[in-house]
Amino acid sequence: MVDRSFADLSLAALYDTLNPWGPGDDFYLGLVMSAGAVLDIGCGTGRLLGRARREGHPGRLMGLDPAAAMLVQARAHEPGVEWVLGDLRTREWHGEFDLAVMTGHAFQVLLGDEELRLALAAVHAALAPGGRFVFETRNPGARAWERWTPDRVREISDGNGGVVRVWHEVESVAAAGDRVTFTETFDGAHWERPQVDRTTLRFLGPDALDRFLREAGFAVVERYGDWVRGPLTPAGPEIVTVAEPAGRYNQAS
């Protein structure tokens, strides 16, 4: 569980070690390989599109991320992908993509209502007719943040024979329960002091997600509670959403 906001090269280099390839990556890779042109929003280290290219994807692949340090890792993964520094406001979109994805819970860094509306409007504009937008968020019913405690320390290799210790600590939970601010601390011998990354995530349930998606002109066509396409349950870990443009974006709030 690592946020995609890492700006430091030494931290970005640890991302894939902290988050090894798993069932969620397999889920998205299958979608990417069956789509002609793909936009990965918040692509992080680029391993999804990089692997798709290495496995023979012949079409257009674009990874978009606001952290330059993450894109350094992405370009090392695969130079044959369009890696773009920025967010969905970086450019105008004109229906270029058959599939847009947001992996690694990147959707949860969209904190404000207007920020979320603008992002969904941009995704809608980026999709060609018949295109799909696929993303996942942590199910608020699972209350994952209750397990983000400093006593749960992970130890990983720093890639140079050393060990990095990583732990999380929740600072605050909003009264409404939909925003959680926490720190992620990295401690290793090659830093003079522990490195601390502070993040706020928004936890939206399926009803709230659907409300924003409908307003943005999307229709939810599939919804899962895990990476094997099981049903969504009240306390299941994930809310995996597959949506399609269903009409013109409604700018009314």
CATH of the domain at 228: 3.40.50.150
Number of domains in the chain: 2
**% of the chain beyond a pLDDT of 90:** 79
Angle between helices 23-33 and 47-54 (to 10 degrees): 50
Q: What is the pLDDT of residue 252?
A: 38
- Whether 129 maps to a domain, the answer reads yes
- Whether 1 maps to a domain, the answer reads no
pLDDT at 115 over 80: yes
Q: Are residues 175 and 69 in the same domain?
A: no
Q: Are residues 88 and 178 in the same domain?
A: no
Q: What is the pLDDT of residue 247?
A: 59
Nearest Cα to 190, choosing from 8, 70, 10? Answer: 10
- Whether 85 maps to a domain, the answer reads yes
pTM attached to this predicted model: 0.91
Q: Are residues 116 and 216 in the same domain?
A: yes
Q: Are residues 131 and 16 in the same domain?
A: yes
Q: How confident is the model at residue 129 (pLDDT cuts 50, 70, 90)?
A: very high
Domain containing residue 158: 141-202
Number of residues written out for the chain: 253
Helix (H, G, I), strand (E, B) or coil at 50: helix
Q: Are residues 132 and 43 in the same domain?
A: yes
